[in-house]
Structure 1
Amino acid sequence: MGTEVDVLDAGAGPPVVLLHSSVSGNRQWKALIAELRDRHRVLAINLLGYGSTPPWPGDRPQRLTDQAALVHAVLDGIDGPVALVGHSFGGAVAMRAAVELGDRVGALVLLEPNPVALLRRAGRDDAFVEACALRDHVQGHGASGTWADAAPRFADYWLGDGAWDAMPETRRAAFVAALPPNRHEWDAVTDPDLILDDVAPTGAPTLLVHDPATRRPIRELAELLAAARPGWRVHTLDGGGHMAPLVRPDLVNPVVAAFLAAAFLAAS
């Protein structure tokens, strides 16, 4: 698509692409990069609208394949198998990229991915409606430019009740500034044409990580994906919450590193 991708490139070895969550950025992977860089070339992408990666133009609804194009761009000229690690929205992007990359994917790690359109197709209407209520809240305020009014509900939903009130003012300002790309990301994960085979590969070793006490749409997605792809490995992470890759990397990173090591060892 010709977009210049803002990517942090560190280390050497089999490539691992890291895809961050909404309202975050590739900086969320600082600890995981330190964990992996001695064994892997780590490519931590800033998705559309984050860092210096250009924002989505908004001329049509964004789709996951639009974000997956960033993965193809950073892998251009890199040979051999690749691992993808994605969190939340980045997990949904990683799923789509893995389908598009096919046999090139040596491992896929999904940390509470959120392609919530699959809930509607599976008849999990209450969970889908809950996700869409937050979508409508964000997109409504996005249309009017009132991002500061969108932020408290978004923060409390994903970070936990009371998270917004507990934030210092500097963190609140940064949170509000990072929120606009999410308006378009909701279009991608609620795409009415999205089906399971568009985002759930069958050939790559895949690890699905979730907190059993996470928000309902993510919890039900994990149940749905585990049932639909029985070959995937599922790891429950008690107490981490949806934002565990940021707030509890001590819980998440050893699980990710061990899975990648086993996948690449098995392939060698």
Structure 2
Amino acid sequence: MSDERPGSRGGGTVFLHASNRSPRRAWGDLLDLPDARVAWMPGYDSELAVRFDQDRWEERLLTACRSGSTVVAHSFGGAVAMRAAVRRPDLVAALVLLEPAAYALARGHEAVEEHIRRVQPVLDRASDRTAEEFAADFAAAMSGDRLTPPLGADGLLAARRQRMLPGPWTLDTPSELDVPTLVVTGGWNDEYEVIAARIRGARHVTLVGHGHRPQDHPEVVDVVTDFLVR
């Protein structure tokens, strides 16, 4: 029997992560959406970090979907979810993209090119750096601050996983989607605002005050539910 509560769809809601947080910490109250399921990507369902493969991530996501699913994806997972939706609109009926790292759509924009200029050299030498060294390099490239305290077990695993990911600007990313799409940004970073503007046909909502994690905003559940009802 399908769930007829407001905001639900016949296939339920599938969450695609992009961080190393536990599901509740990663998604907060959004996990209370009807029939919520978390899709764990290769290397994130164990402590063994594996090299990224876009096809494998998409297949893992689509395996978690049923006909008519809504996919909710954050950051790096956003670009993966976009191509999966183009490949299988029979499974993915709607997308909710939280600050999607669809950088391939925004090449040429000054803020995006500056970000790539800082981060790509770190990724290019990742295999020659220890997990601790990579974590410090990556933090410095992203924010200008180097990590100085020793990393615990969770931090080292996060660094090993991050080291296996390419720059999101290298992903095959469609600019136009055939399913209803909501993009939620935090209004803090020009890169994500221009990316949102480049996703043709998407509804764009800005929820200010929580940086790269608009899913922490107290209004996000209402925004997503309203989008699904519409």
Fold in common (TM above 0.5): yes
Deviations 1:187-239 (A, max 9, x none): 5x2327x3xxx43443211101112222x4323222322xxx1x311101112
Give the secondary-structure state (helix, strand or coil) at the position aligned to 1:250: coil
User: What's the counterpart of residue 256 of structure 1?
Assistant: 224
Give the secondary-structure state (helix, strand or coil) at the position aligned to 1:258: helix
Residue from 162, 169, 173 that aligns with 1:190: 169
**In the aligned structure 1, how far is the partner of 2:222 from the partner of 2:100?**
19
TM-score by length of 2: 0.79
**In the aligned structure 2, how far is the partner of 1:70 from the partner of 1:153?**
30
What number of residue pairs does the alignment pair up? 222
Do residues 208 (structure 1) and 183 (structure 2) align?
A: yes
Contact kept, 8 Å, 1:64 with 1:92, in 2: the verdict is no
Contact kept, 8 Å, 2:62 with 2:91, in 1: the verdict is no
Q: CA deviation at 1:108?
A: 0.7
Q: CA deviation at 1:126?
A: 5.2
Q: List aligned pairs for 1:84-163, cutoff 5 A.
A: 84-120=71-107, 123-124=108-109, 127-140=112-125, 142-152=126-136, 154-155=138-139
Residue from 50, 58, 61 that aligns with 1:68: 58
Do residues 179 (structure 1) and 154 (structure 2) align?
A: no
**In the aligned structure 1, how far is the partner of 2:140 from the partner of 2:222?**
27
Unaligned runs of 5+ in 2: 1-8
Please report the RMSD computed on the Cα atoms of aligned residues, expressed in angstroms: 3.2
Unaligned runs of 5+ in 1: 1-11, 264-268
Runs in 1 of length 4+ with deviation above 6 angstroms? 160-163
Q: CA deviation at 1:133?
A: 2.3
**Residues 238 and 211 (structure 1), Cα distance of their counterparts in 2 relative to 1, 3 Å cut:** same
**In the aligned structure 1, how far is the partner of 2:121 from the partner of 2:224?**
33
Identity percentage over the alignment?
Answer: 29
Contact kept, 8 Å, 2:103 with 2:195, in 1: the verdict is yes
**Residues 257 and 157 (structure 1), Cα distance of their counterparts in 2 relative to 1, 3 Å cut:** farther
User: Aligned letter for 2:224?
Assistant: V
**In the aligned structure 1, how far is the partner of 2:103 from the partner of 2:22?**
21
Say which structure is richer in helix.
1
**In the aligned structure 2, how far is the partner of 1:135 from the partner of 1:173?**
26
**Residues 178 and 152 (structure 1), Cα distance of their counterparts in 2 relative to 1, 3 Å cut:** same
**In the aligned structure 2, how far is the partner of 1:14 from the partner of 1:201?**
22
